[in-house]
Structures are given as structure tokens and as C-alpha cells.
Amino acid sequence: MSENEYKNESYSDKKKRKKQREEAAEEAAIGKRKPPQDLAAERAVLSGITYSGLLRSMAFEQVEATWFYLPQHKLIFEAIYELWMAGKQIDGLVIKDKMHQKGTLIDAGGPEYLDEVLTSETSGVHLPQYIEMLSEMRIGRGLHYTSQEILADLHVGGRKASEVLEFASDRCLQISQATTKSEGKTTDQLFNEISQKMDDAKGDPTKKPFSITTGIPYLDHLLNGGFHNGEMIVVAARTSVGKTTTLINFNCSRITEAHRHEEKYTPYYLTLEMTQEQISEAHLANLSITNANLIQNKNFVDPNTGKFKEEEFDRVQRTIPTYKDKMGIIEMAPGVNTMQIRAKLKQLKSIYNIDIAFIDYLTLIRPMNPNSKRNTSEIIGDISRATKQTALELEIPIVIAAQLNRNVEDRSSNEPYLSDIRSSDAIAQDADVVLMPYEDDSEDGSIRIKVAKNRFGPTTKGNRCPRVTFNRECRRFEEFDKYRSPKEGEVEDAWAKTKV
């Protein structure tokens, strides 16, 4: 039936078709050999992912169209998923328009049935339970169809019982592994990939390792070029020492480098304690080498003299159009859990092919089960392991900030240790790299960045730690012997001054 025919159909005919559809569904449910199904749960899941933005990412991370028994529900799910992957708004009207464009609206039961489905469970509170019910039904249907094939082979196909047993074993294994996403590689494949990368870089000093540089050459040297795909990098420090600034400085250094070399670089910065505007302003202060307070106040009036800072204003205005499309995605999402972060990163990897993720910071990530009676260390350990697994799965480095305990302040030396990381030893165990910015004992205001853990390279301590100057006004690090603050009256483009 075409959409025009559907629109011209009388109310009684529509009601009759609806009854026929319900009878067909009921017949399927009470048939002699009915496959396991829960149509109410299917409708609740579709409604939940439509109206629950926080849980939507988690749902798409788990559910696939094949989980739905009713063909109409599969079509509705596919439309919602396509909208989500494209980063579009999701609501009843948008879904209806999407299905109209695809020509699947009538096949999915028409506008009335779509509205009925999408309004069956608008709160989304019980979405995880409905998803679990769908998963059970999917597994049950797989066993149902497999058992039918087994019976057919035994009684009709004439196959040997040993052959049927082998078939049944293979099929059950496929069902149990249906959610496994990764595939192994042979050593032949892996060595060929390594050899190809070596051939590409052979004898060319301009060819850099497949890594994201930090902007601090000595630190890059220690880390074998910078941050690598699949790594979890923890930046752990005391309050006010500069965890957030360290993350921003790493990001801005790579942004300026990518700009100069006209390279593709798309970062994702997730803030759990500051607003998107505050993080954007800090990036802008770093990139333009400008006092962050001037940018935050917007009027560029010196609070001490009351004079308008025209040169700084002009410098920031020139910086904005240069970098506005190169800073990737900045998002504020307080209260998210690891499943939501993983789903979000997976979506961004698919849409924008992000190169790195910055998360500020680890202990603000919400546990999967807030009502759990487990202790804090166990919960933080789960979050840490999930972060590492996400970095491996998406093949991107994840740089995440963490807090240190207060006992660091009680020592004669400011140098921290791995055991000082707050809440869980698991953070230090899961991380590939642990960086610990701390104030140097000297009186020049410099900062040391201790490499406390380096899975594939050397660590540092004391005077062997990379030394940088921390320009707090501009939210900026630079190597100690290369740093120079912009002088009064000097107008200089940020990317021209930045040394990498």
C-alpha cells in the first residue's frame, strides 16, 4: 500500500487493519512452536531510546535491529539508529519524517502505529531492564530456530547424529558469541602491517611515530613520540597544580602543530566539572597567549588600570577564526557513566574519526550502579578498567585526569608517587602512562612533570623529570628554557610563537 492510499483509507479500514495486525502478532505468540518474544518490551525499548537522551548511547551500544522480533519494530529501530549516527535530533516527528524519506513508514505500521510505539514508555527509567529482556528473547529465538533445524535434520534430513551434534555445537557457540565485536589477527597480518609502517617511514626524519605529541619535546622523547593509540594516559596531580591545564596544554600543542603542518586532528574533550564555555576560554587563552581572565570577562578591561587591552583583544580576535574549526568537540556531561562515555566515543569515532579523547576527570564519572554497596576503590577500579578497554577498542589514546591524596602536602618534597593516586591502586595498574605534574622545589615557579609509569619506556624522578614553566594567566606550559611571556605592546600570533 502506498502512503497516499494509506492517507485516503477510511478510519474503519485503518481500525480493521490494526486489529488484523494485532491478531497476527497474537497468532505468532500462541503458535504451536512460537519463538520467544516480548512485543511490549520491544515497544518500550523503542520509546525509551527516543525520549531518554542519557540512556540512548548505552542502548545503541548494546542493541541491534536483529534483536527485534516484529519486522515493524526493526524498521523503526533502524531509522532511529541512522538519525543517532548522523548526530541528528531524535523525537517522534523527526523519526516519522526519516521513515517517510526512506519509504518505510507504511511498512512499519503507519503514522498511528509509530506514535503508539513511541509513546508506550516515555520516561526511559526502566530501559536497561527492557534491553536485558530483549537480549534474553534474542538468545531464546536463536535456540528456538536452532532446535527446529536440529529436529528437521534428525527426522527429515537423514544426517548422522554425530553431524547434527557438531552442527548444534557450532550454532550454540555462534549464539553465545553474538555480541563479540573484535576479531583476532594472525601474526602474518600483524607483521605485514608493522613492515608497511616501517617502509613508509624508512630513512625519513620528518616521518614521526604514529603518536600524538605533547608539545614538550623531552616528554615526547620519553614517551617514544607522544601518546599512542590504545593507551590510557593518567594525569594525576593535587588541586591547583594544573590537571586541567595539563590536558588543555597537550591538546592545544597538537592543535597548533596540526595547523602549521595542515594535518588532520580531531580531539574530543569531555568535562565533568567545568562548563563548555570555560574549557573553550581556557583553550583560547592558551592558543592566543592571552590572560584568561580578560577572555572570561569579555570586555578586555585591565582590572588594575581600567584601560582597554586593545592588543590582547586583537590577538584573540585573530586566533578565533584560525582555530575555531580545528578544536574538535568539547562537551560538558556531568553524571555520565562509563557505558555512556564508551557509546559516545564510539559514535564520535564513527562520525568524526576522533584522534584522541580527554576526560576531566576520572573520579567524577558515575558508577554503573550508584546503589551498589561496593567500596570506592572497587568502583573506581571498574571505571579505570572500562576506560582502558574503551581506548583499546576504539584504538585512540584517552588522557584522563585524576586526583592525588592530601598526604603529598605533608612531605618535605613536593614530588608525588604512584601510591598517592586517590581512591584506587587500579588506576596506576590499568594506565599505560602516568604523568604527575608538581611544583618544583626551586623558587622560580617551574613545574616538573614526573613520568611515574611508562609501560613502553623509561620513567623519571627528581631532577630528571621534564621541567616546564607554568604561565597561569594564559593556562599554558612550555619547556623551561624556551618560555618567554609576551611583552607589553607586543602583538604576536600564537601559532608563530608556539614551539613544538
pLDDT of residue 497 exceeding 80: no
What mean pLDDT do residues 88-104 have?
90
pLDDT at residue 202 greater than cutoff 90 = no
Confidence of residue 21 (pLDDT cuts 50, 70, 90): low
Q: What is the mean pLDDT of residues 367-391?
A: 80
Note the helical H segments in 410-465. Answer: 426-430
Pairing of strands 476-479, 267-271: unpaired
CA R_g for the chain = 28
In tens, the pLDDT along 214-245 reads: 888 889 889 988 999 999 999 998 877 778 88
- Flag whether pLDDT at 491 surpasses 60: no
Domains of the chain in sequence order: 3-176 (1.10.860.10), 217-497 (3.40.50.300)
Pairing of strands 446-454, 467-471: antiparallel
* pLDDT value, residue 177: 60
Residue 4 grid cell:
497516499
pLDDT higher than threshold 70 for residue 157: no
Tell me how far apart the alpha carbons of residues 466 and 329 are, in angstroms, rounded to a whole number.
29
**Mean per-residue pLDDT for 346-360?**
89
pLDDT band of residue 484 (cuts 50, 70, 90) is very low
Q: What is the pLDDT of residue 5?
A: 59
- Quick one: pLDDT at residue 303? 79
User: What would the mean pLDDT of 330-352 be, rounded to a whole number?
Assistant: 84
Of the ranges 207-211, 359-363, 432-436, the best mean pLDDT one = 432-436
pLDDT above 50 for 406: yes
| Lowest mean pLDDT segment, chosen from 14-28, 200-214, 230-244, 408-422 | 14-28
For the sheet containing 446-454, what is the strand order? Answer: 329-332, 267-271, 356-360, 398-403, 232-237, 433-439, 446-454, 467-471, 476-479
pLDDT tens digits along 52-95: 766 777 788 788 888 899 999 999 999 998 888 777 888 889 99
Choose among 406, 388, 404: nearest CA to 396.
388
Q: How far is CA 459 from CA 127, 312, 350, 441, 466, in A?
A: 46, 39, 35, 19, 11
> What pTM was computed for the model?
0.65
**pLDDT tens per residue across span 257-314:** 888 888 889 999 999 988 898 999 889 888 888 888 888 888 888 878 888 888 888 8
What's residue 183's pLDDT?
Answer: 55
DSSP state of 466: -
Confidence check: pLDDT of 29 > 50: no
What mean pLDDT do residues 360-368 have? 82
Specify the DSSP element, H or E, that contains 479.
strand 476-479
> What type of residue is 182?
S
Number of H helices, E strands in the chain: 19, 9
Collapsed DSSP state (helix, strand, coil) of residue 184: coil
Query: What band does 123 get if pLDDT is binned at 50, 70 and 90?
Result: low
Question: Distance between CA 390 and CA 343 in Å, rounded?
Answer: 9
The predicted pLDDT at position 316 comes to 85
pLDDT of residue 461: 85
Tell me which residue of 406, 424, 414, 427 sits closest to 461, measured CA to CA: 414
Please tell me the predicted confidence (pLDDT) of residue 65: 87
pLDDT of 28 reads 45
Which band of pLDDT confidence, cut at 50, 70 and 90, is reported for residue 350? confident
Distance of CA 303 to CAs 291, 293, 308, 409, Å? 12, 10, 10, 33
pLDDT digits (tens, 9 = 90+) for 426-483: 888 889 999 999 887 766 668 889 999 999 889 888 888 888 888 878 888 877 654 3
Q: What is d(CA 287, CA 282) in angstroms, rounded to the nearest whole number? A: 9
Mean pLDDT of the chain: 80
